[in-house]
């Protein structure tokens, strides 16, 4: 009962904030908030914590955002369910890791390769897109969820292959000591070296989270611009047509196989992009980092944020990243110290029967995560910020009702 009313209230707040521009400019508002947040976040956290751990976490959230934007092209725009998206992520990461680390020196090739990061970003992108095309070509004519199963199978096979060919990839021992991105020396300015702002030290990223943070922000911005333009292009409309009704789309003269293949390839290329970035940032690439759970997490981000809507997907990725990688892991400690501070410290004492409040919370995290997912989907089945077109289709009547409510509030 209260859900629509609450939505109406927040909407009225939003519309006042953006001076009655209404929902039409919701995306702009979200992007504006995101840009401001992206600039304020590092400054605020570095000032507040006197360290860069939170910025480093934000860079991690960043590559999930990239992955979610890419998967959104496949799932949200073209309506193809991809359950093996992490495979392309793995392909991108390994492409950079193998060609920019000492790894190949101990392989049958006997020569380490060190190609520059900026080149490899694009190479990884094309390799992943190529893999997407190779997988997609024979399988995209499959209907419905059969495609999902093919991608699932692909997602299972790829990490296992990286594991099995251990002569080349080091197998489970992972590829380590991956080269850091180095800025060309001609990019001089106050942001580099010993300059006053000093964002990038000595032209070498050298594990500096702030440098990676700036890089991922630029990459995300580029991805958003690219995907938004694609969405508004002829291709974007073709994707939408296929999503809504494949037979009708084909009848309208759309080449469904090519169109789907493009969605698949473009989606995969973002994953490859993110993979190369990831390999440079973490400097360690192991087959264990690309399991099914990663594909699932990214898919949840896309659906949770609002399929088909880029700004929604970004919000979804950030929210879910925060829940899974920051909130849940820190919950036991937080609960423990909360109990201490309100005088229930005795709950923290471990006994044979009771693992301590922190331990108990630790055991509860799976349940909490599951409950959060179910609750979020039940409350907002269309996602946090659904695509406007879809929203209008699905909730035409409801929107009218809400708008009426907004008008009423304005009138009073």
Partner 1 sequence: MVRARGLIVLTTAALVAFACGGTTGGGGSKGTIKIGSDLPVCTIGGQATANGVQFAVNQKNAAGGVEGYTIAYQSFDDCRQGAYNADAGVDNVRKMLDDKAFLGMIGPYNSAVAKAEIPIAAPQHFTMISPANTNPCLTKDIAGCSYHPQDLRAGNQNNYWRVVTTDDYQGPAMATYAYKTLGIKNVGILDDSTVFGVGIAGSFEAQFKSLGGTVAKHSEYKKEQTSDFKSILLGFKNAGALGVYVGGTDDQNICIPRKQMKDIGWAVPFMGGDGIETSDCIDQASGNEPNIYATSAGADATQVDGAKQAIADFRKAFTGPNDFGGYTMQAYDAANALMAAIGRAVKNANGMPSREQVRAEFAKTTGFKGVIGTYDFDQNGDTSLKIVSIYIVNGGLSDQAIKDSTGVCGSKTKNACFVWKTQFDFAKPA
Partner 2 sequence: MSLPDFGFYVLCATAVVLLAAQAVIHPTEFVQVFIFGLTQGSIYALVALGYTMVYGIIELINFAHGDVFTLGAYVGSGILGFFAISESGFTTVNLIALLLVFPAVMLIMGGINVAIERVAYRPLRNAPRLAPLITAIGMSFFLEGVMFLWRGPATVHFPDILPKTATTIAGVFFGFKDIFVVVVAAILVALLAVFINRTKLGKAMRATAQDRDAAQLMGIDINRTIAATFFIGALLAGAGGMIWGLYYNTVYYQLGFRSGLIAFTAAVFGGIGNIPGAAVGGLVIGLIAAFSDSYIGSKWTQVVVFGILIGVLVFRPTGLLGMRVPEK
Length of the chain: 412
Least distance from partner 2 to the Cβ atom of residue 234, Å: 24
Least distance from partner 2 to the Cβ atom of residue 200, Å: 39
Asked whether position 289 contacts partner 1 by CB under 8 A, the answer is yes
Q: Which two tokens stand for residue 384?
A: 């946090």
Asked whether position 368 contacts partner 2 by CB under 8 A, the answer is yes
Residue from 17, 177, 257, 404 touching partner 1 (CB under 8 A): that is 177
Asked whether position 194 contacts partner 1 by CB under 8 A, the answer is no
Question: CB–CB of 88/268 below 8 Å?
Answer: yes
Least distance from partner 2 to the Cβ atom of residue 210, Å: 34
Asked whether position 398 contacts partner 2 by CB under 8 A, the answer is no
Question: CB–CB of 323/370 below 8 Å?
Answer: no
Nearest one of 68, 49, 5 to 320, comparing CA atoms: 68
Asked whether position 333 contacts partner 1 by CB under 8 A, the answer is yes
Nearest one of 75, 83, 79, 95 to 154, comparing CA atoms: 83
Distance CA 192, CA 203 (A): 7
- Using DSSP's 3-state secondary structure scheme, residue 304 falls into helix
Q: Which alpha helices (H) appear in 21-140, and where do they start and end?
A: 26-49, 53-71, 85-99, 117-139
Least distance from partner 1 to the Cβ atom of residue 53, Å: 4
Stretch that binds partner 1, among 145-153, 210-218, 240-248, 346-354 (CB under 8 A): 346-354
Asked whether position 234 contacts partner 2 by CB under 8 A, the answer is no
Q: Which residues contact 277 (CB under 8 A, 6 or more apart)?
A: 63, 66, 121, 215, 216, 219
Distance CA 298, CA 66 (A): 10
Stretch that binds partner 2, among 2-10, 20-28, 149-157, 173-181 (CB under 8 A): 149-157
> CA 239 → CA 49, 52, 377, distances in Å?
45, 41, 25
Asked whether position 209 contacts partner 1 by CB under 8 A, the answer is yes
Q: Using CB under 8 A as the criterion, what x/- string covers residues 86-105 for binding partner 1?
A: ----------------xx-x
Least distance from partner 1 to the Cβ atom of residue 361, Å: 11
Least distance from partner 1 to the Cβ atom of residue 71, Å: 18
Asked whether position 145 contacts partner 2 by CB under 8 A, the answer is yes
Least distance from partner 2 to the Cβ atom of residue 306, Å: 9
Q: Using CB under 8 A as the criterion, what x/- string covers residues 80-109 for binding partner 2?
A: -x----------------------------
Provide φ and ψ at 115, rounded to 5°: -90, 150
319 touches which of partner 1, partner 2, none (CB within 5 to 8 A by kind)? partner 1
Q: 35 vs 172, which CB is nearer to partner 2?
A: 172
Q: 49 vs 255, which CB is nearer to partner 1?
A: 49
Provide φ and ψ at 113, rounded to 5°: -115, 135
Residue from 1, 3, 19, 48 touching partner 1 (CB under 8 A): that is 48
396 touches which of partner 2, partner 1, none (CB within 5 to 8 A by kind)? none
Residue from 44, 53, 134, 142 touching partner 2 (CB under 8 A): that is 142
Distance CA 41, CA 58 (A): 9
Question: CB–CB of 292/155 below 8 Å?
Answer: yes
Q: Which residues contact 163 (CB under 8 A, 6 or more apart)?
A: 169, 171, 172, 287
146 touches which of partner 1, partner 2, none (CB within 5 to 8 A by kind)? partner 2
Asked whether position 334 contacts partner 1 by CB under 8 A, the answer is yes
> CA 114 → CA 96, 104, 127, 180, 329, distances in Å?
9, 10, 17, 10, 36
Distance CA 51, CA 44 (A): 11
Residue from 29, 46, 364, 405 touching partner 2 (CB under 8 A): that is 364
Q: Which alpha helices (H) appear in 140-290, and where do they start and end?
A: 145-164, 166-169, 209-232, 234-244, 246-251, 256-282
The residues of the shown chain that bind partner 2, judged by CB under 8 A, are: 75, 81, 138-139, 141-146, 148-150, 152-154, 156-157, 160-161, 163-164, 292, 296, 299-300, 303-304, 307, 363-374, 377-378, 381-383, 390, 394
Interacting residues toward partner 1 by CB under 8 A: 37, 48-53, 56-57, 60, 102-103, 105-106, 163, 170-177, 207, 209, 282-284, 286, 288-289, 293, 297, 315, 318-319, 322, 324-327, 329-330, 332-334, 337-338, 340-341, 350-352, 355, 359, 362, 366
């Amino acid at each position: 009962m209260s859900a629509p009313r609450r939505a109406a209230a927040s909407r009225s707040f939003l519309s006042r904030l953006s001076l009655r521009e209404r929902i039409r400019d919701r995306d702009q508002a979200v992007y504006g908030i995101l840009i401001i947040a992206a600039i304020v976040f590092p400054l605020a956290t570095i000032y507040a914590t006197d360290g860069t751990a939170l910025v480093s976490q934000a860079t991690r959230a960043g590559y999930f955002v990239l992955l979610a934007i890419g998967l959104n092209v496949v799932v949200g725009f073209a309506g193809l369910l991809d359950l093996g998206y992490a495979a392309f992520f793995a392909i991108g990461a390994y492409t950079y890791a193998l060609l920019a680390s000492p790894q190949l020196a101990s392989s049958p090739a006997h020569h380490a390769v060190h190609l520059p990061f900026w080149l490899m970003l694009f190479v990884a992108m094309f390799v992943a897109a190529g893999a997407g095309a190779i997988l997609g070509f024979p399988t995209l004519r499959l209907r419905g969820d059969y495609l999902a199963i093919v991608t699932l199978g692909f997602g299972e096979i790829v990490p296992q292959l990286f594991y099995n060919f251990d002569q080349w990839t080091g197998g489970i021992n992972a590829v380590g000591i991956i080269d850091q991105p180095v800025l060309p020396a001609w990019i001089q300015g106050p942001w580099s070296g010993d300059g006053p702002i000093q964002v990038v030290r000595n032209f070498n990223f050298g594990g500096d989270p702030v440098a990676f943070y700036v890089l991922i922000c630029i990459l995300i911005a580029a991805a958003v611009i690219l995907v938004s333009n694609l969405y508004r292009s002829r291709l974007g409309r073709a994707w939408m047509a296929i999503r809504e009704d494949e037979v009708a789309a084909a009848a309208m003269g759309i080449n469904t196989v090519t169109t789907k293949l493009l969605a698949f390839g473009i989606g995969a290329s973002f994953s490859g992009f993110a993979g190369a970035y990831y390999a440079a940032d973490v400097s360690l690439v192991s087959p264990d980092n690309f399991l099914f759970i990663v594909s699932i997490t990214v898919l949840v981000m896309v659906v949770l944020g609002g399929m088909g809507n880029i700004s929604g997907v970004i919000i979804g990725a950030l929210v879910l990243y925060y829940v899974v990688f920051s909130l849940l892991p820190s919950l036991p400690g937080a609960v423990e110290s909360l109990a201490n501070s309100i005088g229930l410290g005795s709950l923290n004492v471990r006994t044979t029967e009771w693992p301590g409040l922190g331990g108990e919370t630790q055991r509860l995290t799976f349940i909490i995560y599951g409950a959060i997912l179910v609750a979020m989907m039940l409350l907002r089945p269309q996602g946090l910020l659904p695509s406007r077109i879809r929203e209008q289709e699905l909730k035409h009547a409801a929107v009218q009702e809400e708008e009426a409510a907004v008008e009423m509030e304005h009138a009073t």
